[in-house]
Amino acid sequence: MSSTEQGTSSAAPAEPTTAPESAAAPEVPESFYYVHGKDKVVHKVSAGALQHSALIHGMISNLGYTEEQAKANPFPFENIDGDILQMVVDWCNQHKGKPTPPEDTNLPKQKEKLFDLVLAVNYLEIKELLTYCCKQVAMMVKGKSPEEIREIWMIPTDAEDEAAEKEAKKRAGKEAAGETAAAAGDAK
């Protein structure tokens, strides 16, 4: 695994910041965990920032890793594109220990990226970010006609859907027939 350890990227905020603590309170060192996506680029993220993700938070609790073990075993999310995971990490860092605002205008406007982000966020169980993303998805079609929505989101018409379904059935039928013939050939 190529491990480019990075607490931040150019798009992300500086090193994960710790919440200001009172002078009297003893300093508790913040623990960090490591995640990587499909591109294998490792992101160093504080436990505080990762609290947003119910999935990762649960994993941390289950594994009970020491700092060394965490560093040696980054959480691999092979199903998430590197740039999408970067966005998620950035968002978690930016909102670490803060109440989430009612709006988030920094989400991607690009359709494919937004949908990828929605799926990643849903997978990682980051509830607040999912709410923002869904709002952003809804905004994409604000004031649009059915035809425009179909075009923007590439929704097939009912006729196209039916044709695709027929085609899929036909293909499945052919494949099943081919398998049966092959099995018969093997038996001979």
* Interaction site with other proteins (CB under 8 A): 38, 59, 62-63, 73, 75-81, 84, 111-112, 115-116, 118-120, 122-123, 130-131, 134-135, 137-138, 141-146, 148-150, 153-158, 161
Supply the minimum distance, in Å, between the C-beta of residue 75 and other proteins. 7
CA distance 45 to 51: 10
133: its two tokens:
């993303």
Supply the minimum distance, in Å, between the C-beta of residue 21 and other proteins. 31
Shortest CA distance to 90 belongs to which of 57, 134, 45? 45
Strand order in the sheet with 75-76: 42-46, 32-36, 75-76
End-to-end CA distance of the chain: 48
- Which of 16/37 has CB closer to other proteins? 37
Supply the minimum distance, in Å, between the C-beta of residue 175 and other proteins. 21
- Which of 164/177 has CB closer to other proteins? 164
